[in-house]
Amino acid sequence: MKRTSTRLADGREILYYDTDDGAARAVHLDTRPLDAPAAGSEVRRDPLLGDFVVIASHRQGRTHLPPADDCPLCPSTEGRASEIPAPDYEVAVFENRFPSLAGDTGRCEVICFTPDHRTSFAELDEERAALVLAAWTDRTAELSAREGVRQVYCFENRGAEIGVTLGHPHGQIYAFPFITPRTTRMLATVAAHRARTGGNLFEEVLAAERAEPAEGTRVVLAGEHWTAFVPYAARWPYEVHLYPNRRTADLTTLDDAARAEFPRVYLELLRRFDRLFDRPEPTPYVSAWHQAPVAGEGRADFALHLELFTVRRTADKLKYLAGTESGMEAYMNDVRPEDAAARLREVASR
C-alpha cells in the first residue's frame, strides 16, 4: 500500500491510498475558494447518565443529498471541483468539511471506498476491500497516537433510511476525546465477568456461538480466521457480529492471516444483506467497527469486532426506534435471531 498526503484549499488534510506501493500518485492543487472549515463543537456530559454528548450546531448547513453530477466525493473533473482534487483515486480519506469533532474535541474524517458513484462496498473486489481495511488500520494507528484521543471509530452508514446525506460509497472515521457510551458499558460488563469468573466474556460469547448445534445455530459464516453470527439478544431485525477468531484489541493488532481472509468474508456478508429483501434498492445498513480504547485497563480484555445491522425488517417495513427504544433504551425485536441467521444463510451469494 502507498499513502500520499496533501492539503485541500482550506488546509484540511487529504490522503490517497493506492494498492501498488510503487505507483506514481500525482498531487493536484485544490483551487476552490474555500473558507476555513466550520468548527465550534462542544462536548457535554449528561449528569444523570454520565454519557458524553457532542453539540455541533454548525453542521446544520452541511451538504444534503446533492444530485450525482454534483457529488463532492466523486473525482474532480474539468469545470467541476469536488472534495477530491484528482481525476481518479482508489481510496481517499480527508478531514470532514462539517466535522462533529475537531481540534481539542477530536477529529472526523471521510473515507471514500471507490471513485464510482454508482456502486457500493458490496460490489468492490477483494483487492479494493483489502485496501480499505489497510486505510482503516492506518487511520486507527495515526489517530490513536494523537494527544487527547481516547477511541477511534470506523463506520459506514448506507441508505436514505439510515439518514445518509451523500449517496457516494463512503464511510467515516471518528477520533473521540472520550470513550463512547456503548464501549463503556461493554468494558464494565467484561470487567465484572473477569472479576467473577477469571475468564474473558468476549471469548466465551464467540466460543458459545461457534459451539451451537447445527439446527439452532446463529452462525452465518465461519471462516478459518473470522466468525459471523447473529447475537443471542439481537436488537435489530437483521444484525450480524463479525469477530476474528483470535481476540485482538483493534485493527492495528489484527494478524496477517485474518487480514487476508477479511475481504472475502465481509464482502459475502454485505452481498447477503442485499439479498434479504425482494427490492431493487440495496439494503440500508450501519457497519460499525468496535475497537478498544487507545489506552487503559479495559484495553487488555476488549475484542475487536464489527457489528452490521439494517433498519429494514421486511421488504416494505422499517424498524423505527419508537417509545420503548428511544425513550427507555429497551429494544423490542420483531425477528427471532435464529430465524434471521437462517435467512442470512439461505441467501448465500454463491
Q: Is 154 helix (H, G, I), strand (E, B) or coil?
A: strand
Write the single-letter amino acid at 240.
Answer: V
Q: Are 157 and 88 in contact (CB under 8 A)?
A: no
Write the single-letter amino acid at 305.
Answer: H
Q: Which of 269, 348, 343 is nearest to 306 (CA)?
A: 269
Find the mean pLDDT for residues 252-257.
Answer: 98
Q: Are 227 and 211 in contact (CB under 8 A)?
A: no
The predicted model scores a pTM of 0.96
CA distances from 264 to 133, 226, 260, 331, 341 (A): 12, 10, 8, 32, 19
Q: What is the pLDDT of residue 36?
A: 85
Q: Which cell numbers in the block locate residue 266? A: 465481509
Write the single-letter amino acid at 277.
Answer: F
Q: Are 234 and 340 in contact (CB under 8 A)?
A: yes
Q: Outline where the chain has alpha helix (H).
A: 126-144, 181-197, 201-211, 256-273, 328, 337-346
Within 10 angstroms of residue 98's Cβ, the number of other Cβ atoms is 18
Q: What is the pLDDT of residue 349?
A: 67
Catalytic residue check, 170: yes
Separation between Cα atoms, residue 88 and residue 152, nearest integer Å:
28
pLDDT in tens, 177-202: 999 999 999 999 999 999 999 999 99
Mean pLDDT rounded to a whole number for the chain: 95
Q: Are 265 and 340 in contact (CB under 8 A)?
A: no
Within 10 angstroms of residue 55's Cβ, the number of other Cβ atoms is 12
Q: Are 154 and 139 in contact (CB under 8 A)?
A: yes
User: Which residues on neighbouring strands pair with residue 104, listed in sequence order?
Assistant: none
pLDDT in tens, 202-217: 999 999 999 988 777 9
Distance of CA 150 to the CA centre of its chain: 17
- Pairing of the two strands 226-229 and 219-222: antiparallel
Catalytic residue, candidates 168, 170, 225, 241 = 170
Separation between Cα atoms, residue 256 and residue 31, nearest integer Å:
40
Measured at the CA of 231, the angle between CA 230 and CA 232, to 5 degrees, comes to 120
Q: Are 153 and 174 in contact (CB under 8 A)?
A: yes
From the CA atom positions of the chain, what is the Rg in Å?
20
pLDDT in tens, 299-309: 999 999 999 99
Percent pLDDT > 70 in the chain is 99
Separation between Cα atoms, residue 127 and residue 112, nearest integer Å:
15
Task: Please state the length of the chain.
Answer: 350
